[in-house]
Amino acid sequence: MAGLHIFTSNRMELLVEQLAALVREPFASTLEPEIVVVQSRGMERWVSMELARLNGISGNVQFPFPNAFLTSAFQAVSPGMPVPSPFEPDVLTFRIMGIIAEHSGRPDFKALVEFLADDPRGVKRYQLSRKIADLFDQYLLFRPEMIERWGAGNFQGSEDHRWQALIWHELARLTPGWHRIDQRRLLVEVLRSGACGPGVLPRRVSLFGVSYLPRFHLDVVAELSRVVDVHVFCMNPCREYWADIVSERSLQNVQRQMGNFEYVETRLHLERGNRLLASLGTLGRNFLDMLEEFSGFQAEEFVEPDGNSLLSRLQSDILNLRDPQPDAGLSVDASIRIHACHSPMREVEVLRDQLLAMFEEDPQLRPGDIIVMTPDIETYAPFISAVFGAQGTSPGRIPFGIADRGPHRESSSLRTFFYLLDLRDSRFGVGDVLRLLEAPSVLKRFGLEDTHLSRLEQWIRAARICWGEDETTQRMLGIPAHPHNTWRAGIERLLLGYALPSQGTEVFHGIRGHNAIEGSDARVIGPFLDFLEQVFAFSARLRRRRRLDAWRDDILGMLSAFFPDDDDDQPGLQRIRRMLDEMAVLGASAGFTAEVPLDVVRLFLSERLDGEGAGRALHAGGVQVGLAGQRQQTPDPVAARARAHELKIGDAARRDSSAAVIAALPLHFDEVHQVIAVAFVEAVVLRRPGERVGGDPHVEALAGRGRRDSAGDGVARIVARAGDHVAVRLRKGEVLRG
């Protein structure tokens, strides 16, 4: 039955039970998939497991992300929509690169031209175009009126950033009618006119565990509910209406502007509510407030937290919208712990010590019951591996797994692939070349073995090879060219010594042979020479500029030359092949025919791989380490949170390579701080003991401090607010810290 149904609760388990009851109602066709929209792969896996547990089986369930779901809905009602869309950020990036190059002579583009003046390899142009593409994508969601003005050629009020308006106007002129706003307009017309026939859109759609959606997405979902059975399952930490509460800082700002505290407090009806929820729940509060505007069936189910621990009291205060009050009967317990540390390594060491203490206190606690969340997995991953992996097989070793990392951080074949790309600028030192040959995939491809490496090193030393393919390498580096001690000269000496009779040290055409190779050694030197020829040939090709489709063909040839068909890491190499095909398709869709250097292609592949790392599976049975925002809504018994050391949340965008040009943009989309705040609130609200007997849930917070001045960063301040709440409960004057 078409309509909008909204379910809210402070317990994710209750929401998933409602979802399980819903999907038990079968469709007429067993081949029709169930659509469940989620915001992370971590949530997808948890919902899948819970549906299987509650219903006995879970199958034919699709879990699209919100943007992918909207795109599929747009495509369903407008079959002529190009795929990929010309306004998809990946396509926009290459379209903007072309527009900047084409219009660089215009006076309005002077700032861009000056910014890109020292960009011989085109990397800054690509990064800037990527930033602008993401920004335009945000404008479509949050500034639709401005975007439509720009598309119509009205640049009034855009004098300081006129170049942006001109770029968008050109984009809209070349491909009219296909951006988000146009697609939403078409969708609304089709749905309201009744022109959408049966089977065009899915029969039922569920949005589960979504922390926040822009109004654009909610408007589309509400329109879809005219013909689709739409169910929204969302977390609400508070049973009271809390859309109007304001934080202490907001009250102070209003007071400074109005100059009359009593007027601000009484006449403006500003409510304080719960100070922690007011300061950290802004994103979720706005989302729930927008949901209230849509008509439809609404149901809610809230559960009062059990127990009398600090964490339970904190959850209860949030649930009932109470500000904390001193409680004489409440004593310090271990349900909330805050540790102030001065480096990432120290944070991880403290984390390990605390986990060992927890395992000793509670024998039924298992490593798989614990999740560690961090806003910057790449910063913390080496320290976690060093601290947790240093114990080897000792009894005190804690099993662990790190998720959400880019695949090339963990795959030896992908690391080898990027090392091959980096040989373009190599001096071809002996260590650089042999390091590539040491890769198991490369050894296997050329028919060599580990035992051959030591023999090759001896021959290289004997032939006095140091660096450089030949004298051309020295010319490229701007130094006097000579062939001595290069690979070409050394190999000629070795081959001449093998070919000549007697001692093999005679001089022939000015070359003195070296008799290091003899007999069956030819079975080793032959494949090694093939390897060298491939390295030198491909490094020369990598120095040239090419079109995106030509780069795809060249790099695919390189993969075939250096990796065997039966490589152990075929999934990793298949990712590269798929991304190269995607890059060529994006270039064709954008009409981008310019030749670009390798740097742009390498950056494209690296970013795509990093993007695929988010939401990757966690290690079963061990302590789970992942990105905040990917795991926060699953009700694990214990949550430990590490902060990103010296991460300046508010300055992240301004430190970008395009800072000088982007700084004056009319809309600043820095939601990183708010996303982490939402993740922290959800981590606090959702911690429960699960199924283990006697297990008390708790939150372990590692609040980082600067090593120079001990000042906390944005993430540390988030943790400190929770500590302030607890301090009031305990009648303490400062934050409780371990």
Could you report the per-residue pLDDT of 108-127, keeping only the tens digit for each?
A: 888 888 889 888 888 999 99
Band of pLDDT at residue 101, cut at 50, 70 and 90: very high
Q: Nearest Cα to 616, choosing from 417, 349, 411, 446?
A: 411
pLDDT band of residue 418 (cuts 50, 70, 90) is very high
pLDDT at 269: 57
The answer to which of 143-157, 220-234, 250-264 has the lowest mean pLDDT is 250-264
pLDDT score recorded for residue 578:
95
Which residues does 378 contact at the CB level (< 8 Å), separation at least 6? 405, 406, 409
CA distance 125 to 191: 41
695 contact partners, CB below 8 Å, separation of at least 6: 362, 364, 365, 369, 637, 689
pLDDT at 648: 25
42-46, 154-158, 169-173, 305-309: least confident range: 154-158
Strands 698-704 and 638-642: what pairing? parallel
Please name each of the domains of the chain with its CATH number. Answer: 1-81+178-303 (3.40.50.10930), 89-177 (1.10.10.160), 336-404+615-729 (3.40.50.300), 412-593 (1.10.486.10)
Query: What is the band of 723 on the pLDDT scale with cuts at 50, 70, 90?
Result: low
User: How far is Cα 82 from Cα 185, in angstroms, rounded to an integer?
Assistant: 17
Q: What is the tens place of the pLDDT at every residue in 626-661?
A: 877 654 455 555 555 554 332 222 233 333 333 334
What is the per-residue pLDDT for 604? 96
Q: Could you tell me the two tokens for 665?
A: 């943009």
* pLDDT value at residue 714: 52
What pLDDT sits at residue 632?
46
Q: Burial of 228 by CB count in 10 Å (0-12 exposed, 13-18 middle, 19+ buried)?
A: buried
Supply the pLDDT for residue 327.
75
Q: Is the pLDDT of residue 672 over 50?
A: no
- Are the CB atoms for 32 and 66 separated by under 8 Å? no
**pLDDT higher for 233 or 507?**
233
- pLDDT band at 33, cuts 50/70/90? very high
Greatest mean pLDDT among 380-394, 649-663, 722-736 lies in 380-394
Q: What's residue 334's pLDDT?
A: 74
What does the pLDDT read at residue 42? 81
- CA 177 to CA 595: how far, in whole Å? 29
Residue 635 confidence (pLDDT): 57
pLDDT of 643: 42
For the segment 56-63, the average pLDDT, to the nearest whole number, is 94
In the chain, what is the greatest distance between 2 CA atoms, to the nearest angstrom? 106
Tell me what pLDDT residue 665 has: 41
User: Cis (ω within 30 of 0) for the bond into 84?
Assistant: yes
Joined together, the tokens standing for residue 509 give 């055409």
Q: Which residue has the higher pLDDT, 582 or 714?
A: 582
**End-to-end CA gap in the chain:** 54
| pTM score above 0.85 | no
What average pLDDT score do residues 66-71 get? 94
Strand, coil or helix: what is 386?
A: helix
Q: Which residue has the higher pLDDT, 215 or 567?
A: 215
Q: pLDDT digits over 326-350, tens only?
A: 776 777 777 777 788 888 898 899 8
Average pLDDT over residues 578-593: 96
Determine the Cα–Cα distance for residues 636 and 640; give it in Å rounded to an integer: 10
369 to 218, 280, 348, 365, 559: CA distances (angstroms): 35, 26, 18, 7, 41
How do the residues of the chain divide into helix, strand and coil, expressed in percent and rounded to 5? 50, 10, 40
Task: Give mean pLDDT, residues 657-671.
Answer: 38
Quote the percentage of the chain above a pLDDT of 70.
77
pLDDT range class, residue 737, cuts 50, 70, 90:
very low
Confidence of residue 533 (pLDDT cuts 50, 70, 90): very high
Q: pLDDT band at 218, cuts 50/70/90? A: very high
Average pLDDT of every residue of the chain = 81
- Residue 92 is predicted with a pLDDT of 96
Asked if the model's pLDDT at residue 719 lies above 70, the reply is: no
* Between 521 and 687, the higher pLDDT residue: 521
With 50 as the cut, is the pLDDT of residue 56 above it?
yes
Average pLDDT over residues 488-504: 77
pLDDT at 282: 78
pLDDT band at 260 (very low <50, low <70, confident <90, very high): low
Lowest-pLDDT choice from 136-140, 442-446, 559-563, 726-730: 726-730
Instruction: Return the pLDDT at 659.
Output: 36
Confidence check: pLDDT of 297 > 80: yes
Mean pLDDT of 402-430: 85
What per-residue confidence (pLDDT) applies to 734? 42
- Per-residue pLDDT for 404 more than 80? no
